Structure 1
Amino acid sequence: MSELLLLSNSTNHGAQPLDHAPLAEFYGGRTVLFVPYALADHAGYATRIGEAFARAGVALRSVHTETDPAAALAAAEAVWVGGGNTFRLLATLQRIDGLLAIGTAVAAGAHYGGASAGTNLACPTIRTTNDMPIVEPAGFAALGLVDFQVNAHYLDPLPGSTHMGETRAERIREFHEENETPVVGLREGGLLRVSGESVTLSGRARVFRRGTQPEEVGDGPLRPWGPPA
């Protein structure tokens, strides 16, 4: 049974990184293997995330220090995937066979957590990321640990704005012109706790399903998924 902790963002305004994440409760004494590949500075990123985990009393080491990153990921008892650029994250994991390795670990019972790009990675694909494609991955397929997409950092348009660019809602509507998969527009500070088939939201989100009007939801379960009857 998959155990996942998926955050919209790693840092809330005015707070320390990951202070809003229940890291100690979720990881329960496991040593966490950190995946820093969404940023260019792996060592610096690992230091910052290590400090956040240390505040929660959770042991963490970074996969970029491992001689065989794929083997280390496959054997991990817990994983945390940091935010940054989702395209860079996916492309790097593809090069080191990291997707298969993480999937193997989760299938064996490893707890998976992530924020922003790390949350995108848990979805069937990365097609609902907000990021610029600064690198070209070999396809958009991700881990598929959940059966829905997430749009992290979801924002409503500003009232009275004269900006004529696409809103998040318009981009998700375009996604549903080509895809059936539901999309959770996860607002800042929001997180999803997945345990097997159970998905529970803490915070707020806007849920988009093809062929229906978006639904604003708050704390509580997020089921059932799927297209409208």
Structure 2
Amino acid sequence: MDLLLLSNSRAPGQEFLAHALDEIDDFLGANRRLTFVPYASSDHDGYTAVMAAALAARGITVVGVHTVADPRQEAARAEAVFVGGGNSFRLLKALYATGLLETIGDRVRAGELRYLGASAGSNMAAPTLRTTNDMPIVSPPSFETFGFVPFQINPHYLDPAPASTHMGETREERILEFLEENDVPVLGLREGAWLRVDGAVARLGGVNGARLFGRGSEPAELVPGEDASHLLSTTPRYDLTG
């Protein structure tokens, strides 16, 4: 499988996707046509236009999957797909409703389709969306997502801020709560970070790094450029009875 999983689409002080354009360009290679899945947003046309404008300078043509009569046919002939960010619950519900969860999933796992995700789109690459940051504004048929990688992903990961006056749970506390019920590693991707997977090799890229959480162990720091291939052999164990 070929995956590029971004924590975020927009970095502070930069234009949309500017921080990751070189990586996206390299990931796509000679292919200059990209199928975009905008379902995490309510404004499909607007979101697709923003994506198209960001990639135009690199000679990449963006086709919104929502603009064709049968989204599955578009996904079936695509060479690369970008699943954009927004609300993970809304996105997953649409993937089920359109049949794209199966079509995209099968082709990516077969090595026929390159998969790019950002934020909610990166959440979809994990086995479930249980480590999303989003509110469940809609109810998808299931929490099960593509499952391209056997570990959970938490995009936009924020480190605990000791001086903060916020009295709710930190992101770390929420992830540790998840691990009380599920024995599955969670990769917290900080802003500006991404994970690139090429077959059996996974490597952290971008800036700011990531934090890896596992049951019964202290969180581990991953730095840009670090090999994370060992995560691909994880055997996830979920509590599916709750």
Which bracket does the TM-score occupy, shorter chain normalised?
over 0.9
Cα distance in structure 1, aligned partners of 2:77 and 2:177: 39
Q: CA deviation at 1:75?
A: 2.4
Amino acid at match of 2:101: L
Amino acid at match of 1:126: L
- Tell me, what secondary structure is at the counterpart of 1:213? coil
Cα distance in structure 2, aligned partners of 1:61 and 1:223: 32
1:19 aligned residue: 18
Q: Is the 8 A contact 1:5 1:26 kept in 2?
A: yes
- What is the 5 A alignment of 1:99-118? 99-106=101-108, 107-118=110-121
2:7 aligned residue: 8
Structure 2 residue 170 is the aligned partner of structure 1 residue 167: yes
2:79 aligned residue: 77
- Tell me, what secondary structure is at the counterpart of 1:153? strand
Cα distance in structure 2, aligned partners of 1:221 and 1:165: 33
Cα distance in structure 2, aligned partners of 1:55 and 1:36: 20
- Tell me, what secondary structure is at the counterpart of 2:94? helix
2:30 aligned residue: 29
Q: 2:151 aligns with which of 148, 151, 158?
A: 148
Cα distance in structure 1, aligned partners of 2:198 and 2:92: 24
1:11-38: CA deviation from partner (whole Å, max 9, x where unpaired): 0011111112212111113211000000
1:41 aligned residue: 43
Q: CA deviation at 1:108?
A: 4.3
1:223 aligned residue: 229
Structure 2 residue 61 is the aligned partner of structure 1 residue 55: no
Give the aligned CA root-mean-square deviation in angstroms.
Answer: 1.2
Cα distance in structure 1, aligned partners of 2:214 and 2:229: 12
Q: Is the 8 A contact 1:126 1:142 kept in 2?
A: yes
Question: What percent of counterpart residues are identical?
Answer: 52
Q: 2:217 aligns with which of 201, 206, 212?
A: 212
Amino acid at match of 2:19: H
1:40-87: CA deviation from partner (whole Å, max 9, x where unpaired): 000000000001111222221110101100221122111001100000
Cα distance in structure 2, aligned partners of 1:175 and 1:74: 35
Of the structure 1 ranges 107-116 and 30-39, higher mean CA displacement relative to structure 2 is found in 107-116
Q: 1:190 aligns with which of 193, 199, 223?
A: 193
2:141 aligned residue: 138
Of the structure 1 ranges 100-109 and 81-90, higher mean CA displacement relative to structure 2 is found in 100-109
Q: TM-score, normalised on structure 1?
A: 0.95
Q: Is the 8 A contact 1:75 1:105 kept in 2?
A: no
Cα distance in structure 2, aligned partners of 1:97 and 1:33: 15
1:97 aligned residue: 99
Of the structure 1 ranges 43-52 and 196-205, higher mean CA displacement relative to structure 2 is found in 196-205
Amino acid at match of 2:123: N
Amino acid at match of 2:184: T
Amino acid at match of 2:161: L
Moved over 4 A (4+): none
Q: Is the 8 A contact 1:10 1:17 kept in 2?
A: yes
Cα distance in structure 2, aligned partners of 1:129 and 1:55: 32
Gaps of 5+ in 2: 236-242
Gaps of 5+ in 1: none
